[in-house]
Amino acid sequence: MIALKTDQEPQIQEAEMNLENQQQEFDEEDHQDQIILLTRKLQRMIQRSNQYRRNFPARKENMKTETDTSQVT
């Protein structure tokens, strides 16, 4: 009985280590997938903002085409 327990302990420890390693690999893959999704979303947002900028003309606040005649005396 004692011999069986001592033989099983290293196997149990190896199995636990394998499970932990597999869990870490799954976590890393999940994190990589999340990073990929977030970068794609950011790229889309940047592309949209660039498209909006192209569609609207730049504002020129310093140029006044009309003069205010209400203050002219």
Over the stretch 22-47, which tens digit does the pLDDT of each residue have?
A: 899 999 999 999 999 999 999 999 99
Task: Express each pLDDT in 7-20 by its tens digit.
Answer: 677 788 888 888 89
- pLDDT category, 5, cuts 50, 70, 90? low
Question: What SS3 class is residue 59?
Answer: coil
3-state helix, strand, coil in the chain (%, to 5): 80, 0, 20
DSSP state of 65: S
Q: What is the mean pLDDT of residues 42-71?
A: 75
